[in-house]
Chain A
């Protein structure tokens, strides 16, 4: 483990990859806060296991005052804020011409507006406290074209572009911002793919296998550890499919 004794926010930590990141960071002795729109039983389990080292609150990621208050609340509870992982996102499996406007707005809200608001609140805090680490969970879709994922891909490309601009804006303040871009990985989002589609992806992947939550966690752990001097980069965790 590279990240220890930190105060960390992971957005969308109530299930899926976010839940895995939260659980593993807690195991390593970090204090972790997360939010999602809905509460899950896993949140109760983590509260029971980790007590004050874990904090969950139901929150809509596009509720700007709520997100700002959440960052302040976490800092007060944990005695600071060291790292933020922008994980919350929703997927897509529709050609753009068949995607309704509401779906487009929902994806852009959760995948773009949400992480932008959380990052904004976090860097304001980090600027005054001497620095920190921000890691956005991006995607290979932000850099490569895949049919049926246009809006989702656009949102991930946005995260990559915003990250590079912010690295220039706040890097000098000791805030390190980088993205981890998984390929298709075993998740709820890839569950929309048919078995033959998954087989095709595996066949085209040099490593021969999809990444899993733990593969992604290991890179996130390094990125937010504050030990690498890595700044403004996208790290692909995709078994080499973009190589």
Chain B
């Protein structure tokens, strides 16, 4: 999966929740309304696509502030 695939999944979840699409990578996840449960849903959808489980500490999720952080995080997680 490439970065744009992850962003597509994030926007799919945003749309499902009735929220506006993410504007750019610098956008704050808090301001965009991208919440921790949305993060988990994206993680599960990535798991389905890559065919393996992603495991990470809740603490690392709490350090995420921007859309870029989410994308970086999942890119690393996928590399495993």
Contacts and interface: CB of A to CB of B under 8 A. Distances in A.
Interface of A: 124, 127-128, 170, 172-173
A72 B40 CA distance: 19
B41 interface: yes
Nearest to B58: A169
B75 to A, nearest CB: 21
Interface of B: 35, 37, 40-41, 44-45, 47-48
At the interface, is chain A mostly helix, strand, loop or mixed? Answer: helix
Contacts, number: 14
A128 B9 CA distance: 12
14 contacts: A124-B44, A124-B47, A127-B40, A127-B41, A127-B44, A128-B41, A128-B44, A128-B45, A128-B48, A170-B37, A172-B35, A172-B37, A173-B37, A173-B41
Contacts of B47: 124
Nearest to A125: B44
A184 to B, nearest CB: 38
Contacts of B35: 172
Nearest to A120: B53
Contacts of A170: 37
Given A124-B44, A128-B45, 10 more contacts: A124-B47, A127-B40, A127-B41, A127-B44, A128-B41, A128-B44, A128-B48, A170-B37, A173-B37, A173-B41
